[in-house]
Chains A and B, each alone.
Chain A
Amino acid sequence: MSDAAVSAIAFVTLLTIMVGARGIRVARTPDDFMVAARQVRPALNAGAISGEYLSAASFLGIAGLVVAQGLGALWYSVGYTAGYLVLLLLVAAPLRRFGAYTIPDFAVGRLGSRGLRLTATALVLVIGWFYLLPQMKGAGITLQWVLGTPYWVGVVILGVVVSCNIAMGGMKGITFVQCFQYWLKLCAIGIPAIVLLIAAGHSSSPNLTPERAPVFTRATVVTMTQATGFTLSHPAEATVSGLIDQRTYRDQAVRLCACRHVAGPGTRIGFAAGAPVPVSLAMEPSSGQSWDSPFVTSGTGGAHPLAATYGVIIATFFGAIGLPHILVRFYTNPDGEAARRTTLIVVLLLSSFYLFPTVLAVLTRLQAPQLYLSGDSDSIVLALPSLLLPGLPGELLAALVAAGAFAAFLSTSSGLLVSVAGALSHDFMKRGVTAFRWCAITAGAVATIAALLIDRFPLALLVGWAFAIAASSFCPLMVLGIWWRRLTRIGATAGIVIGGGSCLAAIVSSMLGAAASGWGAVLLGQPATWTVPLAFGVMIVVSLLTQRTVPANVGQVMLRMHLPEALGRQAYRTVSQASWLSPDRPASGP
């Protein structure tokens, strides 16, 4: 589209590749990671965590979902932030003191079982891949919008860049770059939001009031990129060029009734100021809720919005604990107290970021309602700047947004791919750099191919599903493992398998369209309401039934996790070198 956007994306990608090439010797193993980043200050570390965490869903997905489905979609951004608060309250400091790099490490260090380790690793792969898909999709639609290339081109480019980059050296350990990516993303969404907000002035627009259907604030030409069904809230005069309702017009004035219409691909419809904004049938919440309803409708076809909302709340609040690529960052904190400070700063950074997608979504609603007719809500953030601010300033803002979006895909998918490839090579293949490289390429290829199949699901929904699986498997493992002495390996394995498995099954059947409406749609589309309690329940009940297998060293492990460092080091001297609990080395198997 614009040269500025292309060069901005190329710049971000080249920067990432160069850093990856330089990082060959920097971030090979967790030990390098530890040595290099042992004394990372909380502010820098928090920036790195946020940079890795803010993904395509945050950058593009939330604003698009809010525009298309209403304010209820803001629960995703609230939940992504609250996830870190829950992490702070329940696991941050003990996890740092425990000193595990990955969730399988934690599982085996706390409960000591090879079977549990394999189960946990398999789930890391599932969650990691699920989380990679939306990043790939984001790259696909960004390049589609910037260059006009087909969807698959962007997907393949991101897949190749990230896989090769990780295989070459990885960018995982480079705290500074991750931190830079956070500030790049914040600027890339904050500056356009503020500029467009100022440009739009504070004219109170009617589109925010719930009573009236949205109307165009100025004469607008809507171009249908694909065959689109839409409805109008009241009759309107329009200038139509192209196919509409099976009749072809050439710049003719048509009176469109307040009913359903079908427009062919490439049709342009010119509306006068004050005309009602057409509501796309693909976007319309089927429950007929108004835009300002505080309930979630995505993934469930709009059925039982209250239950769907709680599904999203539970999944996002408790899912962040179980994400496979976040945990390793906590080990770069010097101690548990610093881990808590870091996490609080992360909450602050995420809160600041998430103000801006909201602003952009409201601006779109007010100023550019034609955007949510286009069918794909995820490209709204990309399209908005050049639409509202014609000329060079708009193009520059659009370039900034595109660069930030690419930074989001690159940083999150790099972190995820390192986790997935690390889990694959560590637990399922022989160790070593070569194995890690092949695993990175394989994992990247699998994610790329899968991403080609999922382009019809909104980004925020896909990421929400990854959170749901994490919340119904690893969250109970971490929370109970840290706070409950009586957890056993059999209980933990059963909880992970049943909770994570049922959540995955529900989501896959929802993706395949198993239940389109009613309670079935809610329970499958937003399954966290029942799978998270199920996972906790199974883990507790099975543990209580198998109390004979409680690890013998549970008291010492508890001391290690909960005592302040100064005490813990002294109290631990005798036990810590005896086994895999050594504080200077990660737990690596019984």
Chain B
Amino acid sequence: MSARDFSGSSPAPGAGGPAPASGAPLPATAEDDREPAVQAGRQRVVWRPDQVLIQHDIPGLSDLRDDTSAGRLLVRSFVRAQLGLSLMCLTFALTVTASFPVIAAMVPAVTRVMVAGVPLTLIVLGFAFYPVFLVVGWFYNRQARQLEARFTSLVDPVSRRPDV
């Protein structure tokens, strides 16, 4: 597999000392001329048959790899933000749905309300919750995508550049 082949011949990531600050990514192990893949600051890696990735040496990433305290902090805060978003959406959806039985038990009059000849219970349980689920899911997807984009640009600003 190409992934394996690469790992065997790849320079140890993060071992290249201080990484380039920005601009065209410099190879961390440019002096390692045994590597045919390492050429002129870029490395072309066939990672999966369907994908061609361009590797850079990125300061944020080597932090993550090495599990340095900075990297750990970064990842933990990111995971925590994701979890917070999930729990917020979950709490909202649960509150909207699971509060209905309690309300109906405490105020039985609610279950006798008729809307245009149809019991409120039928409208709520049969139809009303589904749009709520869809809106919560849509909101979550949008926010999660934004969180990930923000995190990616934080640790890997280079790959955001359109010319790379």
- Which residues in A have some Cβ–Cβ distance to B below 8 Å? 38-39, 71-72, 74-75, 78, 81-82, 85-86, 88-90, 93, 204, 208-210, 292-295, 306, 309-310, 313, 317, 337, 340-341, 343-344, 347-348, 351, 354-355, 358, 362, 483, 555-556, 558-559, 562-564, 566-567, 569-571, 573-574, 576-577, 582-584
Contact = CB atoms under 8 A, between A and B. Distances in A.
Nearest to B140: A89
Contacts of A309: 101
A559 B82 CA distance: 13
A362 B126 CA distance: 10
A469 B156 CA distance: 43
Contacts, number: 170
Given A347-B134, A362-B122, A483-B83, A208 B117 contact: yes
Most buried by B among A72, A75, A85, A310: A85
Interface stretch (B16-24, B27-35, B45-53): B45-53
Interface residues of B, number: 67
Contacts of A89: 86, 89-90, 93, 136-137, 140
Contacts of A293: 104, 111, 121
B101 A558 contact: no
Nearest to A38: B50
B79 A558 contact: yes
Interface centre among A82, A309, A584 (most CB of B within 10 A): A82
A576 B136 CA distance: 34
A30 B137 CA distance: 29
A208 B114 CA distance: 9
Contacts of B102: 306
Contacts of A577: 3-4, 7
B44 to A, nearest CB: 14
Interface of B: 1, 3-4, 6-7, 10, 12-13, 47-48, 50, 53, 55, 58, 61, 64-65, 67, 72, 75, 78-79, 82-83, 86, 89-90, 93-94, 97-98, 100-102, 104-105, 111-112, 114, 117-119, 121-122, 124-127, 129-131, 133-134, 136-138, 140-141, 144-145, 148-149, 151-152, 155-156, 159
B64 to A, nearest CB: 5
A391 B150 CA distance: 62
Nearest to A93: B144
Contact of A571 (B61, B72, B101): B61
- Closest 7 pairs between A and B when the two form their complex, measured CB to CB: A351-B130, A74-B125, A358-B126, A577-B7, A564-B148, A344-B137, A89-B86
A347 B134 CA distance: 7
B101 A310 contact: yes
Contacts of B145: 337, 340
A167 B100 CA distance: 46
A317 B94 contact: yes
Interface of chain B, main secondary structure:
helix
A88 B139 CA distance: 12
Contacts of A313: 97-98, 101
A354 B126 CA distance: 8
A354 B90 contact: no
B124 A574 contact: no
A570 B61 contact: yes
Contact of B119 (A90, A93, A208): A208
A586 to B, nearest CB: 14
Given A562-B79, A573-B13, A75 B61 contact: no
B112 A210 contact: yes
A163 to B, nearest CB: 35
B159 to A, nearest CB: 6
A71 B122 contact: yes
Nearest to A308: B101
B121 A355 contact: no
B58 A208 contact: no
B3 A294 contact: no
B104 A295 contact: yes
A555 B67 contact: yes
Contact of A559 (B50, B75, B134): B75
Contacts of A341: 141
Contact of B50 (A39, A562, A566): A39
A582 B47 CA distance: 12
B72 A569 contact: no
A395 B60 CA distance: 66
A355 B127 contact: yes
Given A340-B141, A343-B137, A562-B78, A292 B152 contact: no
Contact of A292 (B10, B122, B129, B138): B122
Given A344-B138, A355-B127, A567-B151, 8 more contacts: A89-B86, A90-B90, A93-B144, A208-B119, A347-B134, A351-B133, A564-B149, A566-B159
A71 B130 contact: no
Given A74-B126, A81-B130, A210-B112, A564 B97 contact: no
A81 B111 contact: no
Nearest to B94: A317
A91 to B, nearest CB: 9
B98 A573 contact: no
B75 A558 contact: yes
Contacts of A74: 122, 125-126
Nearest to A340: B141
10 contacts: A86-B93, A292-B119, A294-B100, A295-B101, A317-B94, A340-B144, A348-B134, A564-B152, A571-B61, A573-B7
A571 B74 CA distance: 13
B155 A71 contact: no
Contacts of A78: 97, 125, 129-130
A294 B124 contact: yes
B100 to A, nearest CB: 6
A358 B122 contact: yes
A159 B127 CA distance: 35
A58 B79 CA distance: 36
Given A90-B86, A340-B144, A75 B125 contact: yes
